[in-house]
Structure 1
Amino acid sequence: MSAEPTGHVMWSPDPIRQRLANHYLEDVLALPDDAPRVELRDGVMIVVPSPTFGHQTIGNLLWMWFRQNAPDDMFIPGTAVGVAVGLRDSLEPDVLLLRPPVPTINHFFLPEQVAIAVEVVSPGTKRRDRFEKPSEYAAAGVSHFWRIEQDPVHVYAYDLVDGRYELAADSDTELELTMPFEIKLPIREITP
């Protein structure tokens, strides 16, 4: 009598399609519910690392701050949704501030719907969050990008100018900006 394997096998990307860089947004949308979050880069699925508790807390507190302070007729905050930057490219920011309408069934939004894309930097995502993602968001035309460093919490806010991000403001005490709305964000309010 042979023992049959029982239980569930965890999803992973098809190695042949990965090697061929042959994945599209439709493939991401068709992933099973238990699949990890992924981004697409030139048709290759990149598993998004699971965020730490501190990382999640910063993102959740920023989402709440946006929810309470952004004009609700002009902006809607979101988390765990993507930005479709092409048929074979997507990004999964930690927090988004979206322009309505925002259909509740969407997993991906177009770059022109994104008012602010936010990345919280963790040890495993430093290079991608500091160097790669800003250039990808800029190339897609996302008008504002924020990078949040941890320990201590420090926010860097960038505006898109002539296809590149320029630092608009940064602070570890209070972030003040005029775009995309009048912002006075006390950093302590997003600090775990």
Structure 2
Amino acid sequence: MNTPSDRGVVTVNDVSDAFDHWPAPPPQGWTADDLDRLPAGGPNGEPDFFERVELIDGALVFAASQTRFHQRVLAGLTVGLKTHAPEHVAAVNRMDVKLGHRMRPCPDVLVVDKVAADDDDRAFYTPDEVHLVVEVVSPESEDRDRKTKPSRYAEAGITHFWRVENNDGSPVVYVYELDPATRVYGLTGIHHERLTVPVPFPLDIGLGNLPR
């Protein structure tokens, strides 16, 4: 039986055997393509069970509910990026990036090729289509957003990475750029009241007055 989900129309039976091992992963581990075949409900029929899940090194990671800080920073940066973006790119949020067979994170904000963003049937993007990844750090995601994800984005060749931290209710943006020789990010700036950068395109956003 086909069951609709926010990742497209999927066949439940494609991954039903994996639930025999739940909550452990199936013997072969989860793959990036499995996320396109997950059912709308959980192993016990829970609605929207897989709505906020990503694949990190073969493990399904379920995101916690967003805080208001996380929500407004995500919205504010998305609007700012859309306002400044040149015609050949577009800002999107909460879309997967398939980095490999067992790595498919779902960043908070992405800047991708406009052609890819205009394809409404897409469920994920590939690293060559991504110009910038933004992660807004939450208490439950600190290790992933500060360590695991940046290293994987860099290994995949994504040129620009921003990490946003909560400093007593004010966003602080750590801006990184890829060293193509080492495939490692280097810190190019720490931005408090204003985010002003020349790449991936000229941008000037007031961080102190993001929409509430």
Give the TM-score category using the shorter length: 0.7 to 0.9
| Structure 2: distance between partners of 1:21 and 1:122 | 30
From 161, 164, 179, give the equivalent of 2:184.
Answer: 164
Deviation at 1:95, TM superposition (A): 0.6
Q: Which amino acid aligns with 1:68?
A: T
| Structure 1: distance between partners of 2:107 and 2:138 | 13
Name the CA shift for 1:60/1:174 in 2 (closer, same or farther; >3 Å).
Answer: same
From 137, 162, 178, give the equivalent of 2:153.
Answer: 137
Identify unmatched segments of 5+ residues in structure 1.
1-12
Q: Which amino acid aligns with 1:186?
A: G
| Structure 2: distance between partners of 1:48 and 1:155 | 21
Residue identity (%) = 32
1:48-67 matches, cutoff 5 A: 48-67=63-82
Identify unmatched segments of 5+ residues in structure 2.
1-17, 41-47
- TM normalised by structure 1 equals 0.85
- Greater RCO, 1 or 2 (C-alpha within 8 Å, sep 6+): 1
8 A contact 1:168–1:177 mirrored in 2 = no
8 A contact 1:21–1:43 mirrored in 2 = no
Residue by residue over 1:113-133, the C-alpha shift from the partner in whole angstroms, topping out at 9 and shown as x without a partner, is: 111100001111111111111
Partner residue, 2:200 = 180
| Structure 1: distance between partners of 2:145 and 2:68 | 18
State the aligned residue count: 180
1:91-130 matches, cutoff 5 A: 91-102=105-116, 103-130=119-146
- SS of residue in 2 equivalent to 1:51: coil
CA RMSD of aligned residues (A): 2.0
8 A contact 2:78–2:93 mirrored in 1 = yes
Deviation at 1:19, TM superposition (A): 5.3
Is 1:47 aligned to residue 47 of structure 2? no
| Structure 2: distance between partners of 1:114 and 1:49 | 25
Q: Which amino acid aligns with 1:154?
A: V
8 A contact 1:76–1:100 mirrored in 2 = yes
Q: Which amino acid aligns with 1:157?
A: V
Partner residue, 1:23 = 30
| Structure 2: distance between partners of 1:89 and 1:128 | 12
- SS of residue in 1 equivalent to 2:135: strand
